[in-house]
Structure 1
Amino acid sequence: MHKIATYLDQDHRRCDDQYSMAESDVILRNWEAASDHFGTFLSMFYRHLDKEERILFPRLDHALGNGYGPTVVMRAEHRQMRAMLLEMKIAIDRHDCEAFFGQGDMLRILMRQHSLKEEGILYPQADFVLAKQADAVVASMENIDHAEEAGAWSAA
């Protein structure tokens, strides 16, 4: 069974769908909706990165016996994506369609390559190496979602 891969693949799809809404708003120059949808996307995407960096990667590194495996590359790419996303948020705030898509085009390439590595190599490897822990790993990742939701309610 591929519990970790399925869970994170579905998370990728949800993030992609939310990003598409923000991108459509930018095309239409509906800046208020773009800001809202992009903000939601950022929250979802950063939570996804937290699931990987705080839960999956440390367990995978431990199981593989080192901290220099495939997760090093994934973390570096996460840093690149965060920097691009910040530029895209600034572009929305400035109502700059050209700057948004300039970064967005590069981001799409990076994210596509990144997702292929995760979905084709890293997640299946995690399902294999962490098979006995898969339920606990997924539960821990879901707890990040619930903690985020609880924080949103308490902040309201």
Structure 2
Amino acid sequence: MSAFGGMPPAELSKGLKQLKEEHLPLLEQLDGLFRLTKKIDQDESILTNFTNLSKKVKEFQKALDPHSEKEEGILFPMMGTYIGTTSGPIAVMEFEHDQAKLKIKTFLEKTNNNNHSPEEMKNLSALIQEAYFILTEHFAKEENVLFPMAERILSDEEKEKLYQRIQEVK
């Protein structure tokens, strides 16, 4: 990942700061999902925990989707005018978004019916573990590399436009 060379710390503008702050509740939800998957792995009340996991994954997806839209639909294209989008940091970020969303989508599609064996429940919950690892690492990259990079390359006017546009995403 040489495209992610270290960036010195930067004070983030209000739009980038908001995107960073949105990570905290998402990470808290992810931690809860991960704890449920570990209980399922350890055969702890599998059906109850799996049912709860399914419910919590739906809630997480509802919280993640608008955040992703702010990045994919607004921030990434703005940065892409300077650093491109077909390779480098933006391409990596979009790939990671796609991978995490695919794991979540696959989990939700396959959990529509409740007729799963304990082994199937463990296998399906592993998709959420994979999404957890992707997203926790992904958020760290955004906070430590991508957002500071955006702070340096976007003009003050672009930063204000970013802030205004992300307020429109609900």
TM-score bin (small chain): 0.7 to 0.9
Contact in 2 for aligned 1:22/1:33 (Cα 8 Å): no
Show structure 2 runs of 5+ residues with no match: 1-10, 40-44
Amino acid at match of 1:107: A
**What is the match of residue 102 of structure 1?**
126
Larger RCO, structures 1/2 (Cα 8 Å, 6+ apart): 2
TM-score by length of 1: 0.76
Distance in structure 2 (CA, Å) of the matches to 1:18 and 1:32: 16
Considering fraction of residues, name the structure with more helix.
1
CA distance in 1, matches of 2:52, 2:133: 25
| Higher-Rg member (1/2) | 2
Q: Does 1:79 align with 2:98?
A: yes
Deviation of 1:37 (Å): 2.8
Counterpart secondary structure, 1:144 = coil
The residue correspondences of 1:1-156 to structure 2 (distance < 5 A) are 1-3=11-13, 4-23=15-34, 27=39, 29-30=48-49, 33-62=52-81, 64=82, 66-68=84-86, 69-90=88-109, 92-93=111-112, 94=114, 97-132=121-156, 133-145=158-170
Q: Which moved more, 1:109-118 or 1:38-47?
A: 109-118
Percent identity, please: 21
> What's the RMSD between the two structures over aligned residues?
2.5
* Corresponding residue pairs, total: 144
Quickly say closer, same or farther: Cα 1:53–1:44, change in 2 above 3 A: same
Q: Which amino acid aligns with 1:83?
A: L
